[in-house]
Structures are given as structure tokens and as C-alpha cells.
Structure 1
Amino acid sequence: MAPLNLPFLNKSDSGLPNGVTHPTWVVLDLQGAYPARQPASPIAALLNRAETLEALEARVEKLCGAEWLHGVLVRFGGFAAAPATAHAVRGILGRLAQEKRVVAHLPQLTMTALIAASGATEIAAPESADVMLGGFAVESTFLGAFLKKHGIEFENLRIREYKAALTRFSQDHMDEANREQLGAYINGMEGAWARDLAEARGVSEDTARGWLSGDLTSAQGALDAGLITRIAYEDELVGPGTRPMAAVLDLFMPKKPSNAKAGRIAIIPLIGTIIPGKSRNNPVPLPLLGGPMAGSDTVTAALKRAKQDDKTKAIVLYVNSGGGSALASDLIWREVATSEKPVVVVMDEYAASGGYYVATHAKHIVASPYTLTGSIGVVSGKPVLKEFNARNNLNPERVGNDRALMYSASRPYSDDERALIERSIGEVYDRFVSRVAAGRKLTKERVNELGRGRIWSGVDALEHGLIDELGDLHTGIERAAELAGLPYDAPTWNATPKNHGPLPEFVQEAASLAHSAVTLEGLSLWPFGKERVLTWFDQDVKVR
């Protein structure tokens, strides 16, 4: 955490004013993306330097219980959280504001920073603050024409018109169905933003929406519009009784442990593209290859461990995934559906396609208003290098059954092969629809209306019965406690697969990483093995 650069804190005489035995204000820094919890992998956890929502909530809980504390200055610097995470931070600051005076200081008035800061009692900004309130938007680059120019085409079979996975490779522009659903999602996000800010500032939603179209360019304009409560620099918000969080940690009373004998709640993350096999991570930001991947073997093993653990009374499955392998998604779904212990699914930024599939039979589903979910659909496809090979004098030769090579990139599908794949993805889609209908107690006809690959915001998903409640991980843990008959402060633990083998888990993982680095096994150009039928939302919808 960056040191607080305030002049009075750098003086050698840092004693409190006469008669003051404890700091009256504490400075809490917020910076980074705030992942929900530490990675389950020991090596990843060791390398992770980012503060988590879990750690932030623990800090805030200590501040709430400090009787000597009057207020907290929350300093936003380099805050890079996605909207769904910012909404969770808003909830944390809101709980703090119920106990203490909370002032958020924002040098940059951005859409996501304001979501988080709206949980504070007051919002202040320096006179020179950057104001960037242009609403939300997404931008996708379509590669179809570029690939075709170089002799590469892409076959894309999908169910149905809203299923946009792989279209950035097969098309040269965004089709109208995709434009429609993304526009509706953005409108839903801006509506959620307006509700959050309207509630925080005590104005109407129409007034808050007006801030997005009011061409605000300065802190003074934001103050005049009622968006912030004060123009001030940091040194105007603190006094001699203020200390940074790190300087007061020894003043907090240890938390009285809850009755652990009553039981605990397991938290299992499902982060990234869903793939067969074990979870893995590739830090290189490449299409299909980059980022975390949630392996069905790893996630199901963690679920089984939590189900078998006598102390665990409820399970929270934390999903941030656009789906992936239809098979892997179904295997994870099975572990959720067969659990005798209540399973609560909490959706983060994404819980789409396979990421929604795994949630359908949970006892309770919680999503952020900013979550992208739904995408009940199926896709299959492959690149076709026939023209590329001809241009570059490459000549693939075949021996044996052509059907065995139907997924080869050397030629397009035949009519018979295309019909076979369409039948296959139709069967997977029917199963997907049936899972949703049974789990959410909807008719298959209604699920098909909501499906066809269409994405929904968390707010729209609630309206359509695809989820049960708007909230965050804190909400999900409370619902799990209620379902299991546990107190709200019941202990939680990060459930991971049981350790197998004679070596400690981190040694096994290090050996696996070293092996992958040598053999490149971990860098397959297709992360789903031999599978070609996907419940996947592959668009990187990064709102700006």
C-alpha cells in the first residue's frame, strides 16, 4: 500500500495533540482492482500483491468497532476495480458509514470510482480533479475481414441469434442482435449507476442521469450539480489527530471469535474460462490463451471437499466467468445440483453462458446490478486455412476416415458435417434450457425466450427470474448462513481440492509449472482440449 504523502505525518514529532490518547481519524487507501479473495493456489497467493475485498472488509470491520474513532478518510488513488467490484466496495463503505463519519476523496471523478465512493457519507474532490463522466461504453474489434485478407476464414455455428461468441473472428462487423443486447446491457448499467448515486446524494434518478449528459468538466461543476459534497485538498480534510491505517493497527481490539463449533461456510472461486481438467493461469494477455482458467477437475474437487467436510454447513460458489466448455460446465453443475448442503452462487463481473449454467440449481443466486449474465446459448466453430495453405504452398494430405478430421482447419465443414454439428449443439442447447427451467422453476418456452444467447444485466436478470437477489459476496455469505442456520459472523474458509501425493501442494504446482514451461503443454492453442461445443461468452466486455 502506497505511503500517505501528507506533510504533518512526515514530521519527526508525530505525537497526538495534548489530551488526545487515540487518533480521531484514520486514512484508508483504496487502490487496485480488488479481487474478491486471495487465490486458492499457494504460489499465486504468494505472488499476489493486490489487496482483496476480503482484506478490505476485515479492515473496515476493525474500524467499525473502534470506539475511539470519529471518522475515516477514504483516499482513492489508482482505483481500478470493475463496476461490479466497485459496487461491492460501495457496500463495505456503506456499512462503515453506519458507524462512523466517512469522507471519500477522489482526485478523479470516474464512473466506477463514484460507484464505490457513493457508500461514503461525503464525497470530496480537489479543485483540479479530473472529471470523466461519459457514461459506459464498450468497443469490440472484428477480425473477419482482416483474417480473410490473409487467407483465413472462420466457421461459426451458434444457437441462436444473440450468441456472439467467436463472431469477432467470423464477421467483419457487429451484427444487429449483438448491438441490441450490448446496448441494453449498457443502459442497464447506467440505470444502476444512476440509482446508486441518486440514493447516495438524495436526489432523483432523473437528476443523477442528468449528470451523465450534463457535460461536467470540473470539480466546481460537480459540486454545483450536487454530485459531490465538497471541494478540498487532502490537507484540508485531516488534522493532527489523523493517522494512516497502518499506524493504528495495534490499537484495534482483537475480534471476538464466533462459535466455530456451530459450523462454517466454504467459499469456492470459479474464475476465468471454464475448461476440462485442472485450473491454470497464463499471465500473457492473448486471445483464448490468456488469464485464469477454471478447470472442472479443480472446481468439482473443491466442491466435493466442502460437501464432505463435517464442519462446513453451507457453500458459496463465487463465479466470475464467461463460461467455456459445455462438458466442464455440466460436471460442475452436477456437483452443485447434488449437494445436500445449501449452495449460494454469487456472481461478480461475469456469470455468462457456462458461468450461468453452473448456477442454475443453487439454492440462492446473488448478482451485482452490474453483472453480465445469461447468454443461454451454444456455439461451435473452427478456423479454415484452406486459402492460407494454398497461398503459402502448404499441402495437408489425408489418409483414413474424413469424419475423424472434421475439425481440421485445412478445409471447411462438409454439408453432412455441418448438419451433424448443428444437431450436436442443438442437443446441448436443449439440455441447457432444461437445466435453467428446472433450477429456476420456469417453463422451457420462457427460458428459450430469455435464452437464444442473450446477455442480461443483473437488474434485468432479477426481473426475469434468472437470479434471486442483487448484492455481493457479503450478501451471499449472509444468505448461506441463513440457509444453514448459522450466525452471520460464522467463520468462512477457502475450500480447495484435497492435497494428493507425497509432496506439498505448492511443490507439486511448481513442478507442474516448470514442466509446462519446458513442454509448452500449458499453452495449447485451443484451451478446451478436443471439445468443440461450447457454452461460452468470449467477448471481453470492458466498460469504459
Structure 2
Amino acid sequence: MHFWRSIGTGIKYIWKTINVIREIILNLIFFFTILFFIGLIGLINNPNGLSDTPNSGVLILDLEGVIVDSTSYDQSLYALSKKLNNNSPDPTRQNSLFELTQKIAQATNDPGIEGIILKLDNFAGADLPSLQYLGKYLTAFKAKGKPIYAVGGYFDQKQYYLASLADKIYLVNQGSVSLYGFSTNNFYFKSLLDNLKINTHVFRVGTYKSAVEPFLRDDMSVAAKENTTRWLTTMWNNYLNSIANNRKVEPTNLVPSPEIMLSRLKAVSGSMSEYALENGIVDEVLSSYGADEALNNYFHSAPQVSIYDYQLNPNRMQSFNNQVKSSSKPLIAVVFVDGTISTGESANNVAGSDSITKQLRDIGKNDNIRAVVLRINSPGGGVYASEAIRSEIKVLREKDIPVVVSMGGMTASGGYWIATQSDYIIASPNTITGSIGIFGIIPTFENSLAHIGIHTDGVSTSPLADISVSKDLSDDANQLIQMNIENGYDNFVSLVAESRNMSTEDVDHIAQGQVWLGEEAKQIGLVDKLGDFDDAVKKAASLAGISDYVIDWQKSETSFFASLFADYSAILPKSALEIIYNQLSQSAQLQQHIALWDNLNDPQSRYVYCLNCSDIN
């Protein structure tokens, strides 16, 4: 009886477990169904996605989250996210750089828009080239005689770059402006991997190929520090000169030496707001109410229109949303390579070679597309995936379709591999590029498994046939992989040499994994011109011999469920831990590390990746 009672109890617990799992699944389905119908009702009531907010008055640039080249989320779902999260700001929100600049360009010539107010407290940042590109459109707005004001309780360096373009900066009482310099810090995992008893086999070529250092060291090597110091210092000087020019003050007034800064701060009894006022960093220090009153008086209490509610006119909207199939004008297609380059489909922070090559192949079949602008913002990825995209670009060029590369904040390693096949390369002075090197990484877990009592044994016809993550690599396997890596490096150098009309020796001298800023890359021959996205479009039009054209913004096609869960991840309530994590300075870099590990799918385990090229604070 005791035996059968135990069996019955076991079955009862199993059934309870199954029932709990069933209820969880049903609740999830029910939850997503509710969200779906909420969105559907919204579309029925407002089919064009237009807001009832007036489209005239003062444009409020109240950015939340980050600015990216191409967002993977449906922006209309963020309104629902705000309601689900009690209207709290979302530090993970993605804003399309090109949609923002199109709206500002429209507002520049819109007689209904009187000015712009920058409210940047919830802006989490962007790379410096994106800030400069957005600043170009704000400057054009001012050139039309329309004022820009900035108001905030706190400005970090990325927020302040945009605020420095304003006619006046209002700082709220007890507020501060943080202008201290740039820094970059990396995570290193050697001790962690040792503690987990993971044996990480790394194969590399390039003295400066520091992307693998996190797996081999607990600190940054001297060579990596020298390389990073060079380009980071240049970028900081470019940033400092830009904001000083915007404010029309000396750079040393804005950012003096630490000794002078502390002395001046002591003179105002440690008040950061008074320090900012005394040194010309801001124009006025007011209460929040006083700032609002000053702006209302200046604009005569005109309606305020959020940048999120301000609607593009139909022509611009059709152009941006890729609804140009019926256009009789020639097209310039814009293809995004945004994130870690990997085989498979594109997703958030991942540039899938399958998705991108399909876009390029479809472009080749469209007689109306006369040129391509390849917008690359990537630290690189797998050799196989990078080569797949590069090869597809070659086919386009063989069909006399010119391809111009527009480098974003970063076009490094695998990103540059792809760029070698273009007709022309345009980079921002502050683009992070180069990192021409290659590495292989194969983690094995024999020690981890042995620690918990699991061992692997068997037979094989050759040591090379017995490569497994559960076993250490043999000497023969190590030699095989290293030679393959060296061959990949030689191929990379040859691609660069051929495309840039350089000798392999000259390329090797500037390669070895070294990172360069755009202005340095121009000097050493890795890019053709310093400029921005607009310059790339003009160059593409020139190479195609067209002057009247429409931009065809390519968007990756994703499966229904991938799109569904990507969008709903943007609207689900955020936990306090998630909010804190996303505000950490190293969160973006950690996400890159995770993206790399998630996409270690190169068939030959060869990677052209610059993991230490980002996360600048």
C-alpha cells in the first residue's frame, strides 16, 4: 500500500506541475491577446497612427532612451509602454536617427513650428557621429531664425552636446553639468572562466587585436591601452572643441584641469549649478517653474508638441517607411548593417547576413534602384557572415549599381571587411573604424564537466576528427585552427589592399587589429572622405548619374513571432533591476559580449570583431 500511495503522490505532484505550466502558458497567451486587441483597437480608431496633439507650436525634443540607426521596434507601441509603466521614462527606448532628423528638417520649413525646446533629462545617449548629425539639423533650424532653448536638471556629456547648440541653456536649481572627459572600461573574464574551469582556446593574428583580451586577461594590455588612448584622446578633443565652438567660449573654460575646476567649485561653496553658471556652461539657473515661465513668455504660451507626436507629412512618411514601390523616380536604397554580424536573420543588435543578403539580392532585381548606400554601424562578427554580405555587394557592383558606405559611430573589423567591396567610403571624423585583424575562439568544458563528475572518452580515426567542446584540443587541432586564422588575416589584408590600392605590407602596418578614428583613417587611406550620411547619399546619386530621386529605406523582414516578441518586449513593464542595469555605463558593452557569445556560429570559428571599440562615457 505504501508503494502505491507513493506512486499516487508522485502522479499528483506531476499533474500539479503540468497544471501550473498549463496555466502559465494560457495566461501568457491571454496577456498577449489582450495587448494585441488593444493595439488593434488603437489602429481602428486611429488608422494612420496620427495623434490628436496639434502639429504646430513649439517642438519639444523630449528624447527618451538611445538614438540608433535603425530601430527594431514599432514606435507606435511605445505609447502603450508608457501607459503600462505609469508614464515613467524608458531608458531602453530606441529612436531612429534618420526619422528624428527628417522631423527636424520638416519643422525647419514648417511655418507652424516657432522653435524647439530641448528636454533631455531622459535621453540616454548616442555615439558622437550621431550627435553631430542630429546637431547639423538643429543648426539648420536655428539658421532659419527659429530659436532653440535647452532646459534640464542634469546634463551628462551626450545630453550637453545637444544642449550646447541651444540659444540659451536653463539649468534647474541644484542641477549640474558633468563635463569631465571620455573614458572606456572593459569587462575581463579570465578569473571567471578559470573559476568555472572553462578552457578558452583563442587563436589570433594582430598585435592590437584586443577583442580577445577579456578571455585571456584580467586587465588591458599595454598595447591595447596605447591604441585606445590615442583615438579616445582625439575623440575627446573633437568633442570639446565642438561644444566650445557652439557655446563660443574657450575649451578650458568649459573643462579646465581638475585642480582649477576644484578651486572654482570651492569658490562657490561646492554648488555645481553656480559653478556651471559662473563658467559659462549654462546661461541661467532657475527653478523648474521659473524655467517653464520664461519659455512660456518667450513663445507666448504656444502649444507644445512632443517630437513623438509631431507627424511627418505623407511624402516624407512614405519615403521613410519604405512605401515607394509605385514611385516613378529612380531610387537610392539604404541598407543597414547594424550590430553584431552573424549568420541568420537580423534582430535587435544583430546584423543577420541572411536578411541583409536577401535585401541586396532583391535590390539587384529592381531596375528602379540605381544606387545603394550601405549604412554600417557594427563592431564586426563572423568571417563567414561578413564575407556573405561582401560577396553580395560585389554582385551589385557587377550590375553597375554603385555602392557607397556611410560609416556610423563604428565600422570596425567585420564592418570594414564588408566596406572593402564598396565604390566609396565616407566616415565621420569620430567614427571608430579599422581593427583589421582576426581571431578564433573555442571554449571547451572538460574541466568543468570533470569537476561535477562527468568525463568523455571514445575513439576516432584521427585526432582532427575528435574536436569537441567536452575535450581539450589536440596539438594538431591547435595548429590547424591557427593556420586557418592566419589565412583569414591574409585574406582580410588582401581585400583591403586591393580595394584601397595599397600594398599588403602597407596594410599590414596599419592593420594588426589597430583601431583608428575616421579622421585618422582618412589620412592613412582607409576611407575616401570625411562626411555624414547626407554626403553618402549625394555621392551615390553622383555615381549613378541621377539628381531627382527618392530614398528607399530598407527594413529587414522578420517572422511574425520574432516581430511580435521584439515589439512586446518594448512594452512590457520594466523591473527596477532592469532599469538600473540599462543605466550602467558598461551595460552596452556587456550586451555586446552576450551578443558575441550568442552568435558564435561561424562555421570555422573565425571572427573579425572589435569588442573593445565602444561604450565610451
TM-score bracket, normalised by the shorter chain, equals 0.7 to 0.9
Q: Which residue of 2 aligns with 1:163?
A: 209
Q: Find 1:275's aligned residue among 315, 339, 342.
A: 342
Q: Measure, in 1, the Cα distance between the counterparts of 2:607 and 2:180.
A: 35
Task: Say whether the 8 Å CA contact 1:143–1:169 is kept in structure 2.
Answer: yes
**Is residue 132 from structure 1 mapped to residue 132 from structure 2 by the alignment?**
no
**Is residue 59 from structure 1 mapped to residue 126 from structure 2 by the alignment?**
no
Q: Measure, in 1, the Cα distance between the counterparts of 2:65 and 2:328.
A: 36
Amino acid aligned to 1:362: S
Q: Which residue of 2 aligns with 1:192?
A: 238
- Secondary structure of the 1:126 match is strand
- Secondary structure of the 1:33 match is strand
Larger helix fraction of residues: 2
Q: Measure, in 2, the Cα distance between the counterparts of 1:127 and 1:419.
A: 64
Q: Measure, in 1, the Cα distance between the counterparts of 2:433 and 2:536.
A: 17
Q: Find 1:460's aligned residue among 520, 530, 537.
A: 520
| Residue 453 (structure 1) shift | 0.7
* 1:57-88: CA deviation from partner (whole Å, max 9, x where unpaired): 22212211123544322222311122333222
Amino acid aligned to 2:216: S
* 1:298-350: CA deviation from partner (whole Å, max 9, x where unpaired): 11111122232222222111112111111211121122234222212122232
Q: Which residue of 2 aligns with 1:105?
A: 151
Task: Say whether the 8 Å CA contact 2:344–2:355 is kept in structure 1.
Answer: yes
| Residue 493 (structure 1) shift | 1.8
| Residue 251 (structure 1) shift | 10
| Residue 117 (structure 1) shift | 2.8
Task: Say whether the 8 Å CA contact 1:86–1:113 is kept in structure 2.
Answer: no
Q: Structure 1 length as normaliser, TM-score?
A: 0.81
Q: Measure, in 1, the Cα distance between the counterparts of 2:451 and 2:473.
A: 20
Amino acid aligned to 1:151: K
> How many residues are paired up?
496
Q: Which residue of 1 aligns with 2:116?
A: 72
**Is residue 492 from structure 1 mapped to residue 551 from structure 2 by the alignment?**
yes
Greater C-alpha radius of gyration: 2
**Is residue 82 from structure 1 mapped to residue 126 from structure 2 by the alignment?**
yes
Task: Say whether the 8 Å CA contact 1:28–1:244 is kept in structure 2.
Answer: no
Amino acid aligned to 2:122: G
Q: Which residue of 2 aligns with 1:7?
A: none
* 1:241-272: CA deviation from partner (whole Å, max 9, x where unpaired): 42212599899987699995341211111122
Q: Which residue of 2 aligns with 1:244?
A: 304
Amino acid aligned to 2:125: A
Q: Measure, in 1, the Cα distance between the counterparts of 2:310 and 2:196.
A: 63
Larger mean CA deviation between 213-222 and 340-349 belongs to 213-222
Q: Which residue of 2 aligns with 1:341?
A: 401
Larger mean CA deviation between 264-273 and 103-112 belongs to 103-112
Q: Structure 2 length as normaliser, TM-score?
A: 0.72
| Residue 376 (structure 1) shift | 0.2
Task: Say whether the 8 Å CA contact 1:155–1:170 is kept in structure 2.
Answer: no
Q: Measure, in 1, the Cα distance between the counterparts of 2:492 and 2:244.
A: 38
After superposition, the Cα gap between the structure-2 partners of 1:361 and 1:526, relative to the gap in structure 1 and judged at 3 Å, is closer
Q: Find 2:68's aligned residue among 21, 35, 45.
A: 35
Task: Say whether the 8 Å CA contact 1:27–1:242 is kept in structure 2.
Answer: no
| Residue 353 (structure 1) shift | 0.6
- Secondary structure of the 1:427 match is helix
Larger mean CA deviation between 204-213 and 296-305 belongs to 204-213
Q: Find 1:214's aligned residue among 255, 261, 270.
A: 261
**Is residue 183 from structure 1 mapped to residue 229 from structure 2 by the alignment?**
yes
**Is residue 264 from structure 1 mapped to residue 310 from structure 2 by the alignment?**
no
Q: Measure, in 2, the Cα distance between the counterparts of 1:353 and 1:474.
A: 24
**Is residue 317 from structure 1 mapped to residue 390 from structure 2 by the alignment?**
no
After superposition, the Cα gap between the structure-2 partners of 1:523 and 1:168, relative to the gap in structure 1 and judged at 3 Å, is closer
Q: Measure, in 2, the Cα distance between the counterparts of 1:251 and 1:386.
A: 58
Q: Which residue of 2 aligns with 1:10?
A: none
Amino acid aligned to 2:434: G
**Is residue 357 from structure 1 mapped to residue 401 from structure 2 by the alignment?**
no
Q: Which residue of 1 aligns with 2:15?
A: none
Q: Which residue of 1 aligns with 2:140?
A: 95
Q: Which residue of 2 aligns with 1:9?
A: none
Task: Say whether the 8 Å CA contact 1:165–1:539 is kept in structure 2.
Answer: yes
Q: Measure, in 2, the Cα distance between the counterparts of 1:223 and 1:512.
A: 47
Amino acid aligned to 2:147: R
| Residue 97 (structure 1) shift | 1.7
Amino acid aligned to 1:279: S
Q: Find 1:119's aligned residue among 152, 157, 165.
A: 165
Amino acid aligned to 1:59: K
Amino acid aligned to 1:221: Y
| Residue 47 (structure 1) shift | 5.4
Amino acid aligned to 2:135: R
Larger mean CA deviation between 424-433 and 198-207 belongs to 198-207
Q: Measure, in 2, the Cα distance between the counterparts of 1:378 and 1:266.
A: 30
- Secondary structure of the 2:430 match is coil
Q: Which residue of 2 aligns with 1:289?
A: none
Q: Which residue of 2 aligns with 1:297?
A: 354
Q: Measure, in 2, the Cα distance between the counterparts of 1:23 and 1:330.
A: 48
Q: Which residue of 2 aligns with 1:400?
A: 460
Instruction: Map 1:452-531 to 2 at 5 A.
Output: 452-487=512-547, 490-496=549-555, 506-507=559-560, 527-531=600-604
- Secondary structure of the 1:128 match is strand
Larger mean CA deviation between 401-410 and 99-108 belongs to 401-410
Q: Find 2:511's aligned residue among 446, 451, 458.
A: 451
Instruction: Map 1:381-392 to 2 at 5 A.
Output: 381-392=441-452
Q: Measure, in 1, the Cα distance between the counterparts of 2:538 and 2:63.
A: 25
| Residue 461 (structure 1) shift | 2.0
* Uncovered stretches (5+) of structure 2, i.e. residues with no partner: 1-54, 79-92, 266-270, 567-594
Q: Which residue of 2 aligns with 1:417?
A: 477
Q: Measure, in 1, the Cα distance between the counterparts of 2:443 and 2:125.
A: 35
Q: Which residue of 1 aligns with 2:27?
A: none
Amino acid aligned to 1:214: M
After superposition, the Cα gap between the structure-2 partners of 1:512 and 1:480, relative to the gap in structure 1 and judged at 3 Å, is same
Q: Measure, in 2, the Cα distance between the counterparts of 1:390 and 1:360.
A: 46
- Secondary structure of the 1:133 match is coil
Q: Measure, in 2, the Cα distance between the counterparts of 1:125 and 1:47.
A: 32
Q: Measure, in 1, the Cα distance between the counterparts of 2:331 and 2:423.
A: 17
After superposition, the Cα gap between the structure-2 partners of 1:46 and 1:311, relative to the gap in structure 1 and judged at 3 Å, is farther
Task: Say whether the 8 Å CA contact 2:179–2:254 is kept in structure 1.
Answer: no
Task: Say whether the 8 Å CA contact 2:196–2:448 is kept in structure 1.
Answer: yes
Q: Measure, in 2, the Cα distance between the counterparts of 1:391 and 1:274.
A: 35
